[in-house]
Structure 1
Amino acid sequence: MEKDLKIADRLLEEKKYDDCIHFLGNLHNKTNPEVCWRQARVMFMQLHGGTTKPTKHEARAQLTTALDRIHAGLVTDGHNADCLTVGGSPISVHPTNFYCSQWNGIIVDHLSKLEGGNERTKTAFKTHDLWQVSITRTNTPPSRAILFYGLICLIFETDWSIDQRLNTIGNPVQSAYHNTYSVTMELELKEADKLVQEDKYSECVIFLGSLQDKNNPEVCWRQARVMFLQRGCVQISRTYTTLFPVDKASAKPGKQEVRAQLTTAMERIKVGLDADGNNANCLTWNGILIDRLSKLEGVNERIKNAFKIHDLWQKALEIDPKNYLANNCLGIWCYEVSDLPDIKRSLAKTFFTKPPTSSYEEASALTYLNRCEELAPKKLVGNLLTLAKCHYRLKNKDQARVFCQAVMEFKATGYDVIETQAEAKHLLKKL
C-alpha cells in the first residue's frame, strides 16, 4: 500500500491528474482513508490545475464526487457518528485521519463557495470546526488546517459584507489575522521539515507548492532543499534529528536529471532572494546550487564561480554565524582550494588576476569545519571526511584516523554515503 500511495503522490506532483485518478481507482482497498483523501485531493487539484476554468456545474459535480470519497474514508475511519450536514451530506467532525478531516473541510468550503457568500457564511463555523479538529489532532502535522482557518479568518476580518451577514447568525468569528498568519507560517514550515525528515520528498514538494505564500524566502529555500535532496546530493546521519536526511536511493541519478532538478531549485532560490536578499539560508543554498551546477559543467566552470560561492557563504555566516551548513560549505571550499593541484592552479590564473587561495590550518578550513561539528556533531558526512583529509595533509594521523572512523560508522544509506565511505576507507590505508 505504501508503495502505491507514493506512486499516486508522484503522479500528482507531475500533474498527471487523469492517470492518478485512474491509478487510485484501480487499487484493491478503495475505502482505505489514505486512498480516499488522495482521490479527493486529485479531483480538487484537477479542477484548479486545468488549462480552462470549469463551469460551476462541472465544479459542483467534481467536488461532490470528491466529498463522497472523503465520506467513504471517514466511514472506514470509524468515526462518522457525530455529523454535521452541508447540502444534505453528512460530515464527520471526529475523524482520526488528519488528511480526511483536512480535505473534508476544504471541499465543504469550496462547495459552499459555489453557492455564494450566504451559503459560505452559513457553513463557516462547520468548516472552522473541521479544521479545528485537524489542528488539535496529536502526532499529526496541523499546519495546513491552520492555514485554511487563517484564510477564513482573513475573509471575516476584511470583508465588511460577510461580517454583517455573520452578525445575523450570532456569535461571529473573532480573529486576529496577523497572529494567525504568523502561527500558520511557522507550523507550515515545521510540517515541511517533518516531511523531509521522514524522506517524504515528493509529498513535501507538493505541500510546499500548495502554500499560499510561495514567494516567502523560508518557503523558497525549503523548496530548493527538497529538490536537492531528491537527487541524493546530501547525505546525513539518521541517528540524529536533522533537517537534512538521507536519500534512500542507491543509484546515482544521471547528469541531465540532476541539472534539470537543480535548475528548478535555483529558480526558487532567486525568488526567495528577490524577496529578502539577506536570508542566510537562501544565500547558503544559492551557493550550494551554483557549486553543484558548476560541477556538472567541469573544472573550468567551477573555478570561474569560486569567489562567487565563497562570498555567498561568507555573507550567510555574517548574517547567521550559527548556520552550520554554511560553515561546512566554507570549510570544504577552503580545503579544496588549498588542495588544488598545480595544473588547476595554473588554470585558475586564466580567469583571475589573483586566483583563490586558502590553507588547511586553523585560520581557514579547520576553523569552519570544526565550527560545523560544534553546531551539528556528526550530522554531515562530508564534513567528517574533509576534517579527516585536512588532518592527513597536516600530518595529524591520529586525528585523521578518528574522523575516518566516524565516516565509516556513519549510519546512513545512499550513493553519496557509499562513495564517501569508500574514500575514507582508502584514506585509512594510508594512515
Structure 2
Amino acid sequence: MTEDRFCLFSARTQTSAVYLSVRSDDAAFLWRLARASRDLALLSSISADEKKRLTYEAFDYAKKALEKNQACFAAHKWFAICLSDVGDYEGIKVKIGNSYTIRNHLEQAIELNPKDATSIHILGYWCFAFSELAWYQRKVAAVIFASPPTATYEEALAFFLKAEEVDPNFYSKNLLMLGKTYMMLRDVKRAALWLTKARDYPAVTEEDKQVRKHSQIHLLYRLQRRNVHVWPNAGS
C-alpha cells in the first residue's frame, strides 16, 4: 500500500469509528461506510487478509443499514452487493444459496428507485452469471433449492440495455457486459460495437482499466478473428 493510500485508509478507519458512535442509526451513513470499505477492499495494493476483513466489514455496515431503514433503496443495493462478495469466501454452496436473497434485494432496490442504473446493471449481471452456470454448479443449486435459480442471456441483455437507457455511458462494465452478452447471443456486430465503447471508455478507476484490457485483448481479438470490423481506438 502506498503512503497516500495508507493515510487515506487510516483516516477513513478513525473517522468511521468516531462517526459510527454518533450516527449508528443513520442508514444513509451506514451504506456509505459499506461502499467505502468495499472500495478499499478492491484496491490492488490491499493484502489478501485485509481484503477479506474489509469485505466482511462492508457486509456488516450494509446489514446494519438495511436493519435501520427497509425503505432505503441503497441499503438494499449494497446489502446485495456485499452479500455476494462475502459468498466468495464461503464456498460455492453458500454463494448459490444466497442467490435468491441477492436478487430479491436488487429487485427491491429497483422498485424503490427505478432510476438507479447500478442496481439494474447488477441484476443483469446476476442473470448473466446464472445463464452461464457450470454443470457442477447447477448440481449444487439443485441440491439447495427445489427450483434452482435460472436466467437467460436475453434477460441479462434486457437489464443491461435498461441500465444504459436510464443512465447512458454510466459504467464501463455495463458496456463490457453488453458486448459479452451479445457475443453469447452470437450477434457479433453488436458485440463489436459495445466492446469498442468499453475499450474507449475513460480509464479512471482500476476497474475501468481492467475493463479496457478485457475488451481489447480478449474479446475484440476474438471478433477480429471472425473478420468482424472493429472500430479503431478513438485516440489512434
**What is the letter of the counterpart of residue 430 of structure 1?**
R
**CA distance in 2 between partners of 1:429 and 1:334 (Å):** 25
Q: Superposed, which structure 2 residues align to 1:268-347 within 5 Å?
A: 268-347=61-140
Residues 1:214 and 1:393: Cα distance change in structure 2 (over 3 Å)? same
Per-residue displacement from partner, 1:124-161 (whole Å, max 9, x unpaired)?
Answer: xxxxxxxxxxxxxxxxxxxxxxxxxxxxxxxxxxxxxx
1:353 corresponding residue in structure 2: 146
Aligned residue number for residue 218 of structure 1: 28
- Tell me whether 1:404 sits opposite 2:195 in the alignment: yes
TM-score, with normalisation over the residues of structure 2? 0.82
Cα displacement string for residues 276-322 of structure 1 (whole angstroms, at most 9, x for unaligned residues): 11211000000000001112334332211111101110111112111
Alignment CA distance shift 1:261-1:5 (3 Å): closer
Equivalent in the alignment of 1:428: 220
Confirm whether residue 260 of structure 1 aligns to residue 53 of structure 2: yes
Question: Counterpart amino acid of 2:37?
Answer: M
Paired residue type of 1:395: R
| 1:230 aligns to 2:40 (yes or no) | yes
Residues 275 and 339 of structure 1: is their aligned pair in 2 closer, same or farther, counting only changes over 3 Å?
Answer: same
- Structure 2, unmatched stretches of 5+, are 224-236
In structure 2, what is the Cα distance between the partners aligned to 1:279 and 1:334?
Answer: 23
Shift of 1:371: 1.4
Q: TM-score under structure 1 normalisation?
A: 0.47
CA distance in 2, matches of 1:411, 1:254: 27
Residue 263 of structure 1 and its aligned partner are, at CA, apart by 1.5
Inter-partner Cα distance in structure 2 for 1:387 and 1:208: 42
Write the letter of the residue equivalent to 2:86.
Answer: L
In structure 2, what is the equivalent of residue 106 of structure 1? Answer: none
The root-mean-square deviation of aligned C-alpha atoms, in Å, is 2.5
Once residues 108 and 191 of structure 2 are traced to their aligned partners in structure 1, the CA distance between those partners, rounded to angstroms, is: 30
**Relative to 1, partners in 2 of residues 1:315 and 1:304: Cα closer, same or farther, differing over 3 Å?**
same
| Pairwise CA distance, 1:407 | 1.6
* One-letter amino acid matched to 2:162: R
Partner amino acid for 1:377? P
Residues 384 and 208 of structure 1, relative CA distance in 2, 3 Å threshold: farther
Does 1:366 find its partner at 2:157? Answer: yes
Match of 1:183 in 2: none
Equivalent residue runs for 1:165-180 within 5 Å: none
Paired position in structure 1 for 2:234: none
Give the % identical residues.
Answer: 23
**C-alpha contact (below 8 Å) 1:255/1:296 kept by paired residues:** no
Partner of 1:152: none
Residue 306 to residue 8, structure 1, CA distance change in 2 (3 Å):
closer
CA distance in 2, matches of 1:356, 1:252: 35
Contact 1:208 1:214 in 2 (8 A): no
Distance 1:313 1:421 in 2: 27
Structure 2 letter corresponding to 1:308: T
Mapped to 1, the partners of 2:47 and 2:6 lie a distance apart of 21
**Residues 203 and 212 of structure 2 are in contact (CA less than 8 Å); yes or no, is this contact kept in structure 1?**
no
Give, in angstroms, the shift of residue 331 of structure 1: 0.4
Within-5 A mapping of 1:23-422: 206=16, 209=19, 212-232=22-42, 251=44, 253-361=46-154, 364-422=155-213
- How many angstroms apart in 2 are the aligned matches of 1:340 and 1:212? 44
SS of corresponding position for 1:253: coil
Q: Helix, strand or coil for the counterpart of 2:111?
A: helix
Q: Indicate the structure with greater helix content.
A: 2
Query: What's the offset of the Cα at 1:8?
Result: 5.5
For residues 202 and 126 of structure 2, the distance between their equivalents in structure 1, rounded to whole angstroms, comes to 25
Q: Secondary structure at the match of 1:429?
A: helix
| Matched letter for residue 355 of structure 1 | P
Shift in Å, 1:259: 1.9
Q: Aligned with 1:353: secondary structure? A: coil
The SS at the match of 1:349 is helix
Q: Looking at both structures, which has the greater relative contact order when contacts are Cα pairs under 8 Å and sequence separation is at least 6? A: 2
Tell me the secondary structure at the aligned position of residue 222 of structure 2.
coil
Distance in 2, matches of 1:389 and 1:341, equals: 17
For residue 395 of structure 1, report the CA deviation from its aligned partner: 1.1
Equivalent-residue separation in structure 1 for 2:87 and 2:125 (angstroms) = 15
Which residue type is aligned with residue 382 of structure 1? Answer: K
> Structure 1, residues 406-428: CA drift from partner, whole Å, max 9, x if none?
22112124543343333323111
State the aligned residue count: 221
Query: Are the aligned partners of 1:331 and 1:368 in contact in 2 as well (CA < 8 Å)?
Result: yes
Q: CA deviation at 1:211?
A: 8.5
